[in-house]
Chain A
Amino acid sequence: MIAAHETSVVAVSKRTGQVLAAGADARRMLVRAAADVVLMPTLRMGRPLTIGRHPRPQPVVAQPKRRSMSGGLFVLLCAAMAALSIVSQQPWALGAVDAARSALAPAEGALASAGDQVDRVTSMFGDVSALRAENQRLRVADEQLRSQVLSLSQAARENDALRQALDFERASGFHTRPAQVVGRGPDAFSRAMVVDRGTADGVKAGMVVVTGAGLLGRIDRAGPHESTVRTLADSSSPVAVVLVNANLQGTVVGGGDRLRLDVPNAAAIAVTKGDWVLTSDAGRTYPPGLVVGEVADVTRGVGSTTDHSDLAWVNDPARVTFVLVITDFTPS
């Protein structure tokens, strides 16, 4: 009989029902072999447990059967998730999905702004070390002054981005709505981003999103106060383009962190590195004349009539902080 001091639990083998250890030894055993051992109170149904063979703590299911249950659950879950990925794209399901996304947006935004603060602090430390190395006089600069300088430089960066945006609106003639990036997609394949404007601000799914530098993507889903942008890096966002110098039509397709340019080129006109790529009016899915990028590398297979190129995108999705949503362009 167990009547040891402070012994409240015993470790019992799941397979044999054998009591293996008691008290602190039992807890240590659980840490070492959690899957084989279960902790039980020493008094069960008013009767003490005894050392040695003991009725199994619970109906022990044979190992192969439990495995097959897990296998069944695995197949069921995979099928359910695959079905969900289809169902969640149906128009009647979008409302519920958007509501769930909107519920998560405030927490994500708060964490993102906390990240901005951390960035600011770390950049301050970086600046301090650089200034110490470069200039002895700045070593004694006042901490408050440095903070002000950093705040001003942050504001200047934002100002530059906004000015670029304003220039774009003037030059293009489109009505735009500025938005700030408050979140980014959690994987490296889609490069999606979340902006702080939604249907309450006149932003709708399908609207084109640009920066001062050029085309970024399209609104994928619009919630009341935030929207998700599907960027060109997503392979499901092909763009019809034209090469400025070669005057050839082509298609830009995303994939991971790169953009690929495919140009049907039966006449074998030279596509050169450095040629600028703009949106074309083919298909009218994007406004024509938006800058997409610059040809970085050209490959042409033997006997092929299509040139494949890597494209240097004018936008780096990891660094974009402000975007413009074009509100008065309707794709045909």
Chain B
Amino acid sequence: MRWAAAAAVILAAALLQSAWGPRLEIVGAFPNLVLLVVLAGAWTLGPRAGMAWACAGGLLLDLLAAGPLGPHALALVPGAYAIGLLARGRHQPHALVVAVAAAVMTVFYSAVLVLFHPAPAGTAMRLAVAAALYNSLLAPFVFAPVRRMVLGTITRRAQA
């Protein structure tokens, strides 16, 4: 049940990001819903589950993009691992902490992705910074419901 719920959330995030992300472009940056969902998963469940979410979400993004399978997954896994390790045992985080975590994870993500889609340094930096700001603004709104869903499934599982 827990994995089914996680899979549904990741699939919905990937499809929404692909279909609607480009419509919400600001200064070249797209909102990255999958990254934000992976952030919430890694923060709540730890690094191993976070990396599993990152792989699933990343592969879905790869399927929805041109080019080989793997770059988006590879771009998400380091962030999920780092967030999972750093957040282990932390209480409910402040929205500002979530926003900063999303920004850092976005910079990780962009740095890896640019290896597969080379761009001039200035352009890559501008896109990465804009995406980091964009994602950090959206992060608290995505983080809270996803974390609540994850904790809800854990509680139901314990009661069963």
Which residues of A pack against B, CB within 8 Å? 8-9, 27, 30-36, 38-41, 67, 69-70, 73-74, 77-78, 81-86, 88-89, 97, 100-101, 104, 107-108, 111-112, 114-115, 119, 183-190, 192, 220-221, 228-230, 234-236, 255-258, 260, 318
Which residue in A30, A84, A235 is a CB contact (below 8 Å) of B151? A30
Between A and B, 20 residue pairs with Cβ closer than 8 Å are A35-B87, A39-B154, A39-B155, A40-B158, A70-B47, A70-B84, A77-B51, A77-B73, A82-B74, A85-B69, A85-B74, A108-B15, A108-B19, A184-B22, A185-B65, A186-B34, A188-B131, A189-B116, A189-B127, A234-B67
Question: Which A residue's beta carbon lies closest to that of B67?
Answer: A190
Which residue in B30, B69, B92 is a CB contact (below 8 Å) of A97? B69
Interface residue? B133 (CB, 8 A): no
Which residue in A69, A73, A190, A256 is a CB contact (below 8 Å) of B65? A190
Is B66 within 8 A of A32, CB to CB?
Answer: no
Is B117 within 8 A of A234, CB to CB?
Answer: yes
Contacting A at CB under 8 A, from B73-131, are: 73-74, 77-78, 81, 84-85, 87-92, 113-114, 116-120, 123-124, 126-127, 131
A9-B158, A192-B67 known, 20 other contacts, Cβ within 8 Å: A27-B155, A35-B89, A70-B46, A81-B58, A81-B74, A84-B70, A84-B73, A85-B69, A85-B116, A88-B62, A88-B70, A104-B63, A108-B18, A108-B19, A115-B19, A188-B127, A188-B131, A189-B116, A189-B124, A190-B67
Interface of A is mostly: mixed
Is B158 within 8 A of A41, CB to CB?
Answer: yes
Is A34 within 8 A of B151, CB to CB?
Answer: yes
The 10 closest A-B pairs by CB, nearest first: A85-B70, A39-B158, A192-B66, A111-B19, A189-B117, A255-B119, A88-B69, A256-B123, A256-B119, A81-B74
Which residue in A34, A82, A185 is a CB contact (below 8 Å) of B64? A185
Contacting A at CB under 8 A, from B27-66, are: 28-30, 32, 34, 44, 46-48, 51, 54-55, 58, 60-66
Interface size class of B (residues with CB under 8 A): 35 or more
Give Cα A110–Cα B46 distance, bound, in whole angstroms. 34
Residues of chain B with a CB closer than 8 A to A9's CB? 158-159
Give Cα A202–Cα B47 distance, bound, in whole angstroms. 46
Which residue in B65, B78, B123 is a CB contact (below 8 Å) of A187? B65
**A41-B159, A70-B85 given; A235·B18 CB < 8 A:** no
Give Cα A41–Cα B154 distance, bound, in whole angstroms. 13
**A257-B123, A260-B120 given; A31·B69 CB < 8 A:** no
